[in-house]
Amino acid sequence: MAGLLNIIQFAPFDTPSIFRATIRDPVKHNAPDARRILRALLQPLMWRNSKAAVAHEHPLPPRKLNVALLRFSPAEQVSLVGSPLLTRDSQPLFGAVIVCQHA
């Protein structure tokens, strides 16, 4: 975490001695306020939005499911045995379903 704060120049915590004294050492030794301070430090860096909250700003196209019929050689079939891509009840991966036809 010290490296991240250094890269983004999150002063004064980008200085190793200050990071150690105010964050690392108190958390390491379970100081009473250490977790509260760490949470307050991380809160502005870890901002998250739900998809619904930003849908009006960044409209997404409707999802599309692509199905591809692939024929695997016997060697490929052996190496893919047990793969979740080959099970009929698996969920689509990145909007694609792979359907295998065994010889």
- Within-domain flag for 58: no
Q: Cα separation of 101 and 83, whole Å?
A: 14
- Within-domain flag for 53: no
- Domain check: are 10 and 43 in the same one? yes
- Domain check: are 39 and 8 in the same one? yes
Mean pLDDT over residues 54-69, rounded? 80
> Dihedral, CA atoms, 54, 58, 61, 62, nearest 10 degrees?
10
The total of structural domains in the chain comes to: 2
Q: Is the dihedral of CA 73, 78, 79, 83 positive or negative?
A: positive
Q: Does residue 97 contact residue 85 with C-beta atoms inside 8 Å? A: no
- Within-domain flag for 43: yes
- Supply the mean pLDDT for the chain: 76
What pTM does this model have? 0.43
Question: 28: domain range?
Answer: 2-47
Q: What is the pLDDT of residues 66-102, one digit of tens each?
A: 777 777 777 777 776 666 555 555 444 455 555 555 5
